[in-house]
Each structure stands twice: as C-alpha cells, then as structure tokens.
Structure 1
Amino acid sequence: MIKKAFAMKIYPDKHEEYRRRHDELWPEMREMLKEHGAHQYSIFLDPETSKLFGYLEIEDEERWKETASTVINQKWWHYMADIMETNPDDSPVSKELVQVFEL
C-alpha cells in the first residue's frame, strides 16, 4: 500500500459547508475513488488556520493519477471551487507532504 498525505486550504467562513459537502459525498465520486485504488482516505481540518490535511492509502500511483481526468472528479473540483483555494482548472491548491515518521 502506498501512503500519501497532502495539505490544502479552505476559506475561513466555509468550514461547515466543506464538512457538509463531504458528508454528502456523491456515490459516483466514492465509487470512482475506490475504482482507482483508494482504500483509506481521511481529511482533517485545523479550524484556527483553515488548513486541511489529507491522508490516503492507494494501490498504485499511476492508477491514482488518473482520477484527476475523470468526469466526476472534474465536476467535484468545480463544485468545491467556491469554498477553497483552487488552481485555474478548479483543482484544489494542494501540497504533497513527505512522511518523516511511522510507528
């Protein structure tokens, strides 16, 4: 299993909306993530800084990279663009984190 972690940022007044949208994650989005090898996927929020920390476990890096070009992922990015920092293509501004410890 490949472990990945990343950081993103949401707008300070959109914490509850971000949670609501993920609580109601579209079934098609959930299925696409599983089809592309995601096993564990969690996102945590630091409410003081509005920073998000994401953690996931995937089967294959190349298969995971394909998620970005799926129709459902493009739709999700557009749906989320009004509540978080995004790039011109609506993808979230995301910084991959480096693992430095594991117990």
Structure 2
Amino acid sequence: MIRRVWLMTLKPGCEAEYKARHDAIWPELLDLMRASGIRNFTIHRHGLTLIAIQDRDEPAAVSEPDPIQWRWWAAMEPLMECHPDSRPIQTEVEDVFAFHAATLPKDH
C-alpha cells in the first residue's frame, strides 16, 4: 500500500465551514476516490493546518484531475490557501517512522 501525507492551510475563520462541507461531501467525489484506487483518506486539523493522509494500492496515474475534482477544489477555494487555478496548496510530508504491529515477528 502507498501512503501519501501532505499539509494544507485553512484561511482564518473558515474552520467550521470546512468541516461542514466535508460532513456533506459529494457522493460523486467519494465514488471518484474509490474508482481511482484510494482505500483510505483522512484529513486532520490542528489550528489552521490540515494534515491529509491517503492510502492507495498503487501509485496514482499521472493525468489531469477529473472535472468532479476541479469542481470540489473550486468550491473549497474560498476556505483554504490555493493556487490560482483553485488547486489547494499542498506540501508533501516525508515519512520518517512507521510501526505496524501486524508485521512484527511473534517473539517481539
């Protein structure tokens, strides 16, 4: 499994609306994530910093984002720091440690 983690930034005062929009996430966006091989996707918030974690079986195909993704980004743009084309500004985070109990030998 491939895990990607990145940071994004909310605009001040947008915390509640950001959460509300994700509580009502579009079903077609969830379908798109499933179809693209995403197994798990979580977003955590610490102040205005968002920590996104994505697990997928294979690397994402390099292609133009789906129109559904573009619409979601445009809808979220007023709430977060974004590029001029409405894509969120994402900073990839390096993995430095992982613990997986299921992979330990039984004598540990």
Offset at 1:82?
A: 0.4
Counterparts of 1:1-103 in structure 2, within 5 Å, are 1-47=1-47, 50-63=48-61, 65-66=62-63, 69-103=65-99
The secondary structure found in structure 2 opposite 1:28 is helix
Question: Residue 4 of structure 1 aligns to a residue in which SS?
Answer: strand
Query: How far off its partner does 1:69 sit?
Result: 1.6
Task: Tell which structure's C-alpha radius of gyration is larger.
Answer: 2
Secondary structure of the corresponding residue to residue 8 of structure 1: strand
Instruction: Name the structure where helix makes up a greater proportion of residues.
Output: 1
Task: Give me the identity figure in percent.
Answer: 27
Q: Secondary structure at the match of 2:55?
A: strand
Aligned mates of 1:57, 1:69 — CA distance in 2: 18
Give 1:75 shift. Answer: 0.3
Which TM-score applies when normalising by structure 1? 0.91
> What is the total number of aligned residue pairs between the two structures?
99
Structure 1: which 5+ residue stretches go unaligned?
Answer: none
Q: What is the deviation of 1:62?
A: 3.3
Distance 1:86 1:100 in 2: 27
Task: Describe the superposition over 1:46-85 as per-residue Cα deviations: whole angstroms up to 9, x where unpaired.
Answer: 02xx00001010122233x44x520100000100000000
